[in-house]
Structure 1
Amino acid sequence: MALDGDNMARQSGVKSIRALERGLDVLLAIRASGGEGRSLNALHQHLGLSKATLLRLLQTLASRRLVWRRLADGVWLPGAAGAGAPDRVCRIAEIASPLLVELSAQVVWPSVIAIPRFDHMEIIETNGQVARFDFAALGPVGAKLSYLHTATGRAYLSACADAERDAIIARLTPPDGTAQQREQIDAIIAQTRQRGWSTRLPHHPWSDRDRQTVLRDGKNSIAVAVNGENGPIAAINITWPARRAVVEEVALRHLSSLQGIAARIGTLVVG
């Protein structure tokens, strides 16, 4: 009769490696969480290991890309090198996360990266925790951003194929939307495509989840698309207090850094 690993070890007198067992327990617990991940405290409660021990194990697993830590909330998630490929969203976030740390060292203001959904963009990672600016508590992960009223949404909308863009705008058009208002959107997209980056300005009259927030929050943003093999897969921004700098000044100082990070994310996702 075949013997399982534990029985074979006992019968052969070979002792298991406790540190390895603990590391595998941590890895399996994170994998079992699916796309939700587990915080350090959740792992502590689930496994009964001290947080100091968990941190050493997590850092070891992270060094082999078996797990990674999301900047936005500190949650640990399965890495690209683990069994079973991570879903596309998790892969983009994992790739973007360390590059957002790098971006925060180059640009004083915080950033988010967001992916397209049916009628909005969804934030999947932010370096707001690294930047530590209370004015711009960006996120959280899963937050929905407008295609029409945020720089992030406009960056994606301007980079995607005509058919996709028309379908998105059709979903967002209110019953009383006019042809003139559609022309305003087209003009914003044309301007964005011409210069290669987006902003929140000018404002557009159609209302959705973000219009009133954008009008009131005292912030401004620029953003660029993250391009994959067959077109845009995400968009990444920089956000700052509008009173601290004008759009053109931030673009002059930081656009090249933002574009460089976006290009590297796209290249790594394709690779």
Structure 2
Amino acid sequence: MRVREYRVKPIESLGRGLQVLHVLQEVRSASLHDLHLATGIPKPTLTRILYTAHQHGLVWQRMVDGAFLPSHTQRRLEPDDDAWLVEIASPVLDDLSRRLQWPSVLAVPRLDYMETLETNSSRTYFDALPPRPRGFRVNMLGSASGRAYLAFCSRQEFDAVIARLRHKEGAAHGLASDDEALRRLVQSTRERGYGIRAPDFGGDYSRPRSEVDDGRESIAMPVRPQERVVATINLTWRRQVMSTTGMVQRHLGDLRAAVAAVEERARAAGLGG
């Protein structure tokens, strides 16, 4: 389509804004420095452009690494694209951290492990998680997040994950070969409504708490906009500060409300089915 010629000057600021949006559409996520290198636009100007675009729902910023991304409403989603989930969950996690001051992590199931997508750790006051990159692998059988997923996912998903884990070597996957222990794990987690860490899990993927201990405990709940579990959200804290029972009494309701908010936002956007 050819636009007729008009005797007017183009809006340079709009042109710069559209240039930034075009770059984000192409690269999918970028830091402020990345955008500066790609466009040549000074960083103060870029900051104003990005803030304005955010105010209009065109871009958003991930907490875990500070990257800017185009809103899911502005692009075509790929079948395995998790960006929409992070975009929807980030403001909920941000609000949760402001109220509780303990960190949370949004994680998604992969073939036989959980992968972290977002965390509000940088916004917490009481305690922050050790720096970990986006995409950090979390043990499925030992972590609260993995156990929450296993307890509430479909039977087909559960069987597929356990079958993969049974072919892996190492004590970290030993539980996968104990059918009775797995049954008790699923039953107790469903009765509670949330997952807790295994007693010997200290945060490391493969080594037990006796070798590596991050000094934490966690609880986690599944995110299910429809019937399928698409993610988990946890709440983690220093073990020396509070017991699991104490955390559940104080803040399980807050975690449950955060999960419900993410589920509602996903349903409203027609996502997560």
Same fold (TM over 0.5): yes
Residue by residue over 1:30-74, the C-alpha shift from the partner in whole angstroms, topping out at 9 and shown as x without a partner, is 11103xx10011111221222211111101111222111001111
Max Rg structure: 1
SS of structure 1 residue aligned to 2:10:
coil
Identity of aligned residues (%): 37
Query: 2:250: which partner in 1?
Result: 253
Query: 2:27: which partner in 1?
Result: 33
Indicate how the Cα distance of structure 1 residues 91 and 50 shifts in structure 2: closer, same or farther if over 3 A, else same. Answer: same
SS of structure 2 residue aligned to 1:232:
coil
For 1:160 and 1:83, the matched residues in 2 are separated by 29
For 1:141 and 1:189, the matched residues in 2 are separated by 28
Where do 1:77-116 residues align within 5 Å? 77-85=69-77, 88-116=81-109
Indicate how the Cα distance of structure 1 residues 114 and 31 shifts in structure 2: closer, same or farther if over 3 A, else same. Answer: same
* Bigger proportion of residues as helix: 1
Indicate how the Cα distance of structure 1 residues 133 and 54 shifts in structure 2: closer, same or farther if over 3 A, else same. Answer: farther
Q: Report if aligned partners of 2:62, 2:118 keep a CA contact under 8 Å in 1.
A: yes
- Pick one of 47, 51, 54 that aligns with 1:59: 51
Q: 2:113 is matched by which residue type in structure 1? A: H
For 2:176 and 2:27, the matched residues in 1 are separated by 47
- Pick one of 227, 230, 246 that aligns with 1:230: 227
Query: 2:61: which partner in 1?
Result: 69
> Which segments of structure 1 move beyond 2 Å, counting only runs of 4 or more?
83-88, 132-135, 137-140, 174-182, 201-204, 208-215
Q: 2:259 is matched by which residue type in structure 1? A: A
For 1:213 and 1:130, the matched residues in 2 are separated by 27
| Deviation of the 1:182 alpha carbon | 3.0
Listed as ranges, the gaps of 5+ residues in structure 2 are 269-273
Q: 2:218 is matched by which residue type in structure 1? A: S
- Pick one of 151, 165, 174 that aligns with 1:172: 165
| Deviation of the 1:83 alpha carbon | 3.7
Query: 2:119: which partner in 1?
Result: 126
For 2:176 and 2:138, the matched residues in 1 are separated by 24
Residue by residue over 1:242-270, the C-alpha shift from the partner in whole angstroms, topping out at 9 and shown as x without a partner, is 11111011111111111111111112112
| Deviation of the 1:135 alpha carbon | 5.1
Listed as ranges, the gaps of 5+ residues in structure 1 are none
For 1:146 and 1:45, the matched residues in 2 are separated by 37
For 2:85 and 2:135, the matched residues in 1 are separated by 14
1:243 equivalent to 2:235? Answer no
| Deviation of the 1:134 alpha carbon | 6.0
TM-score, normalising length: structure 2: 0.87
SS of structure 1 residue aligned to 2:74:
coil
Q: Report if aligned partners of 1:111, 1:138 keep a CA contact under 8 Å in 2.
A: no
Q: CA RMSD in A?
A: 2.3
For 1:181 and 1:63, the matched residues in 2 are separated by 52
Query: 2:13: which partner in 1?
Result: 19
Indicate how the Cα distance of structure 1 residues 53 and 86 shifts in structure 2: closer, same or farther if over 3 A, else same. Answer: farther
| Count of residue pairs the alignment pairs up | 260
For 1:178 and 1:61, the matched residues in 2 are separated by 48
For 2:154 and 2:247, the matched residues in 1 are separated by 28
Q: Report if aligned partners of 1:198, 1:222 keep a CA contact under 8 Å in 2.
A: yes
Residue by residue over 1:206-242, the C-alpha shift from the partner in whole angstroms, topping out at 9 and shown as x without a partner, is xx93443695221111111111212211000011111
For 2:111 and 2:71, the matched residues in 1 are separated by 26
Greater shift in the superposed pair: 222-231 or 124-133 = 124-133
Residue by residue over 1:68-87, the C-alpha shift from the partner in whole angstroms, topping out at 9 and shown as x without a partner, is 10011110011022143466
